[in-house]
Amino acid sequence: MRIRHLTLLEYEGEAQSSYNEVRMTPLDDRGQTTLDQRLTIRPATPVWTYRDYWGTQVSVFDVPNGHRALTIEAVSRVETAGPRPLGKPLSWAALRAVDGPVAEYLRPTERTTITPGVGLAQVPGRDPHEAAEAIAWAVHERVAYVEGSTGVLTSAQEAWDLREGVCQDMAHVTVALLREAGLPARYVSGYLHPHRNAAIGEPVLGQSHAWVEYWAGDWVALDPTNQSKVGESHVVVARGRDYADVPPLKGIYQGPPAGRQVVKVEVTRLA
């Protein structure tokens, strides 16, 4: 797939300076290879990159001079693959004893805290793979997808009580319930091609997307929003404890307090 992610920020006046982090570069990962990628900033400015604690490639730049608009264009080509076969999961007893870096994904965060016991009905009598899938699909049934019903600061508890949200909320709720069940779980952000059987070479409007991965001896990805496993249509960009670890754009600027933001994601199946 070819992915073009364009962000335009227009200020009501002149911004004197801005300092930014961008997470828009797909990962080289199991089942996914980034063939090439380009990040273009206007006004032109040097860009530095580093890997954050969670393994995401972060591009960092500042614009020190006055500017009325900021454009960020990320273009990449990525080869993806279907879901990997499931291996035999660890036992629940072994999962209760897990430690090290994986155990960090058991700890709740502000966005992934939920009423105790909410998701445990999906666990009895199931192995970890079965329980994880039952939890994710239960979230799909409980939380209706309604654009604009929530914001980036909405917590799992708020989305659960509201019974509606977007992919970010479904991922937060699922992560919260997986962790409560004793499964290390992480929030994943990236892109989703909206048409599974898209024509080759046809650009279509895509979207940023969020799903989850849980650990039962190996990492397994599930998409609660679409009630599906993660496959060729998904492109991984970033992973973390919740959305706060993976925002596509984060920064500060000195200048007018209001402005306009336009975001456009275009995806093209190349093969």
Mean pLDDT of 214-240: 96
What distance in Å separates the CA atoms of residue 166 and residue 241, rounded to the nearest whole number? Answer: 18
pLDDT of residue 116: 87
36 backbone dihedrals φ, ψ, rounded to 5°: -160, 160
pLDDT of residue 221: 97
pLDDT greater than 80 at residue 61: yes
Mean pLDDT of 192-211: 91
Mean pLDDT of 49-56: 96
Mean pLDDT of 130-139: 96
Question: pLDDT tens across 83-109, in order?
Answer: 888 999 999 999 999 999 999 999 999
pLDDT of residue 172: 97
**Contacts for 116 with CB less than 8 Å, ≥ 6 apart:** 180
Q: Which residues pair with 222 in a beta bridge?
A: 212, 229
What distance in Å separates the CA atoms of residue 172 and residue 189, rounded to the nearest whole number? Answer: 11
- Stated as kind and residue range, the H or E segment containing 63 is strand 57-63
86 neighbors 127 (Cβ within 8 angstroms): no
> Is residue 236 classed exposed, middle or buried when 0-12, 13-18 and 19+ CB atoms within 10 A define those classes?
buried
pLDDT greater than 80 at residue 154: yes
pLDDT band at residue 157 using 50, 70 and 90 as cut-offs: very high
pLDDT greater than 80 at residue 226: yes
pLDDT of residue 80: 94
pLDDT of residue 72: 97
pLDDT of residue 197: 82
Cα–Cα distances (Å) from 177 to 3, 138, 144, 214, 231, in that order, read 32, 10, 17, 11, 23
